[in-house]
A = this chain, B = another copy of it.
Amino acid sequence: PDWSAPVRDGVLQLERVYKFKNFKLAWAFSNKVAELAEAEFHHPGILLEWGKVTVTWWTHAINGLHKNDFIMAAKTDQLLD
């Protein structure tokens, strides 16, 4: 229920909104996601706003979702711990 699968510009994506108590906590989480992205050479959209981070995974090369996006989504969730 945490991840949704919106279609944007015809591209199926995997998206989750993570909520935080303030900007600094959200910012720290967004940097963890960015570190993961660089480590895995797969880069999502990371939208940082006050108290929340929206992470969007999809695979550019196929304009849609690949098995790897689901793996990255699971790894993103693990960053919360």
Contacts and interface: CB of A to CB of B under 8 A. Distances in A.
Interface in A20-49: 23-24, 27, 30-31, 34, 37-38, 43-49
Contacts of A45: 47-49
A70 interface: no
Contacts of A47: 45-48
Nearest to A54: B47
Interface of A: 23-24, 27, 30-31, 34, 37-38, 43-50, 60
Given A30-B30, A45-B47, 19 more contacts: A23-B34, A23-B37, A23-B38, A23-B43, A24-B38, A27-B34, A27-B38, A30-B34, A30-B46, A30-B48, A31-B31, A34-B48, A43-B49, A43-B50, A44-B49, A45-B49, A46-B48, A46-B49, A48-B48
